[in-house]
Amino acid sequence: VQSSPIKVVNNTESDDPKSLVSADIILDSVAVLTKSVGVIWDETANFRPNLGDTLEPSNLKLSNGLAQIEFLQGATVVLEGPVDFSIINPNEGSLTLGKLRAIVPEVATGFTISVPKGRVIDLGTDFGLHVHAGGSTESRMARNTPRGVIAVTEHCRVFVA
């Protein structure tokens, strides 16, 4: 369930600012679900957005299908089910299981995807990731891309250009 980015209060309430504080935590939208093909949400998924919905930091679990997420910072991620993906902020996500392709324009340089044993920091290119059930991760970078990615793992840092 997404919360509203604003809280409406009754004018008859006290002018004391403390009375306007809500117990609800208000989160801003950080991405949009822009395309979906054959999406079947995992039966354990707590959140099942519809096409066109704005997305707050949240977890997306697909059993099947493709879902395209456009981050407000400019990166686009295509998820392929089965997948377990979390939206962290306007320029960061986390892939726990499954496949994704990221298209990262120069304006979104620094886009980061965390994986079980490290993270990938993009420098403005296209790349793919596949996290297997045991946590091992495969990565691919699109050909003919002018910039690269930095892979940061438990044991090393690798720059791929």
Per residue in 41-96, pLDDT (tens digit) is 999 999 999 999 999 999 999 999 999 999 999 999 999 999 999 999 999 999 99
Note the pTM of the prediction, 2 decimals.
0.75
pLDDT per residue over 96-124, tens digit each? 999 999 999 989 988 999 999 888 888 77
pLDDT at residue 87 in the model:
97
Residue with tokens 């946590």: 135
Q: Is the pLDDT of residue 3 over 60?
A: no
CA distance 89 to 57: 6
Residue 28 three-state SS: coil
Asked if 69 and 36 touch (Cβ cutoff 8 Å), the reply is: no
| Bridge-based pairing state of the strands 54-55 and 112-115 | unpaired
CA distance 10 to 154: 52
Q: Is the pLDDT of residue 132 over 80?
A: yes
136 phi/psi in degrees, rounded to 5 = -70, 150
- Output 56 or 153, whichever has higher pLDDT: 56
Under DSSP, the state recorded for 106 is G
Asked if 70 and 34 touch (Cβ cutoff 8 Å), the reply is: yes
CA atoms within 13 A on the CB side of 1: 3
Amino acid at 120: V
pLDDT at residue 158 in the model:
46
pLDDT band at 17 (very low <50, low <70, confident <90, very high): very low
Mean of the pLDDT values across residues 117-146?
A: 80
Nearest in space to 100 (alpha carbons), one of 89, 108, 111: 111
pLDDT at residue 150 in the model:
52
